[in-house]
Amino acid sequence: MAKYGTNSGGRRVRAGDKPQPLAEKITAGKAAQILKAPELPSEPLLEAVELDGAAALYGEDMPAPSDYLSARQKDGKPLGADALFKRYIKNIEFRPLVLEEFDVNLWAVAVENVKVMPDGRLVLSFKDGTEVEGSLCPAGSDTVSS
C-alpha cells in the first residue's frame, strides 16, 4: 500500500523493454505471429440513399480577406494569413459537391459516432445533431453476413 493509502503501484503499462519488430523476430528465428487481414465482402455493405430535405448547395464567390488577415506584424513582415485564406478557398472551389470516394478527413469532421444495433441497423450521429439510420444487412436478409 502506498503512503497515501491507496493500492497503487505495480508494473506500469508499457514499462520495460519495447517489443521487438516482427522483421527482427523472423530474421532471428524466433516465434512470430503474422496477423491476417479479415476477408471483406466484394459487394458494398452500405447502400447510398437520397436524403429527403437535403440542402441544395450552390457556390458563392470568394469573399475578400479581411484587413486583419492582411495586416503586418510588429516587426513589419506581412502576416501571410490572407494568402493562406485565398489558397484554402481556391482549393474548396475546385472540389466536387458530390463525393466520389470515401474521405477520411470529412468523416472525422462530420461524424460524431456510429451505433451498430444487434439487428444490423446502423445509426450515424453527426456532429450537428442529425441522425441517419441505415442497415448492414443485404435486402431480404435478417442477419449480417460475415
pLDDT tens profile 87-111: 887 777 777 677 777 778 888 888 8
pLDDT tens profile 3-46: 666 666 666 666 777 778 888 888 898 888 877 877 877 777 67
CA 49, distance to chain mean position in Å, is 21
Q: What pTM, to 2 d.p., does this model score?
A: 0.32
CA 43, distance to chain mean position in Å, is 22
Cell of 77: 513582415
Cell of 5: 493509502
